[in-house]
A and B are shown apart, each in its own frame.
Chain A
Amino acid sequence: MSQKTILYVEDNEFNRKIIRQLLAQTSYRLREAHDGESGVRAAQDELPDLILMDVQLPKMSGLEATQRLRADPRTAAVPIIIITSYAMDGDAQKANDAGATAYLAKPYSPRHLLAKIREIVPEA
């Protein structure tokens, strides 16, 4: 089995760093995008095995980006985990409506996130 690629769409440098360091211990290959638009482009350029999508992003929201990817036949089947702020009522519903595979509220535990990733896309 070849190495699995994960695309992380997040504008905050520290959050990206957490995931980068978390996945450095694993066999997953990480690609990063800093806003919704470039996230969608990156997924279309090279099909990832999993996308981690933040909700509040510059240029295009994570929900809209998810909808775009679901609408594109090439990326329609890629699993997407939406990461959002807690407390916003109906976020889970919105993530579900946009076509997310799973939903995770911030602040998440890196341990839990890794478990979730492994559950959806087992390491090579």
Chain B
Amino acid sequence: MASTSALPQSGPVRLWDRLTIGQKRVVWAWIFLIIPIIFYAGIRFYPTFQAFWLSLTNWDLLRPAKFIGLANYQKMFADPTFWKVFNNTFLYLIIGTPISLVIAFLVAYYLDRVRFMHGFIRALYFLPFLTTAAAMGWVWRWFYQPVPIGVINSVLSVVGIPQQPFLRSMDQALISVLIPAIWAGLGFQVIIFMAGLRAIPSTFYEAARIDGLGEWAILRKITIPLLKPTTVFLVVFSSIGFLRIFDQVYNMTTNDPGGPLNSTKPLVLMIYQTAFSSYQMGYAAAQTVVLFTILLIVSLLQLYVLREKK
């Protein structure tokens, strides 16, 4: 207390010297955070609020945005295309998530015990995860062509199964687009499941064996319950992925994006077209708010499920 009185109070250097070590660290912390704070405020938070605001306007790039209340939402909820798209988006989620998780779990469960060529087989499953969806969409599109070009139909014709229209059919197109998405994400899920399986202490298994539990009982009573956090993470992660599907659909249906007759169109593609083909920015913003709400619900469900566990 007494010592400070003698110090001259001039210049930032002196000021800095007078700070305690703890205070200096606080200053350092804010120096480190200043650019990130500007970034998160300007590139994440402000645009989020702006998206909500734009959803209440009729902005179309040409004229200045005018507040029109909930008209965009009324228009959207009255639009049969929106409900078709909404339905498609949920089909991607409801079909894609369980199928990919079950396959990924089976692969991980058995691959975990395989020693012979383990790394090689793991690589086979993981490689598609590293591909570019925009490029692979075209490869799959080629697979789905009719004979003599398409690989799948050629195989079918050899086996004697009738030709399938795949991307040209309103019934098959959605699942045909979904398969490449499942294919590309599978490797990631296998790796995460395997990490989860390894995190289960081997003492649990030893104890179970001593108690005379069979494979199936061990799987049901130990593996699956202890794998719950991993499974919840993957359910949420892949659900969000399927809800946001775009690259595959866009590239596999370029001549009629989301077609035939909107049968493959997901919400993100509708947003893209509304915003960047028809330039109805306000209307598109309202659609992004819907997407945001759906994703928020999925994330909150995850928090709820995990909290219950603890």
Q: Are A and B subunits of one complex? A: no
**Which B residues lie at the A interface, using CB under 8 A?**
none
**Which A residues lie at the B interface, using CB under 8 A?**
none
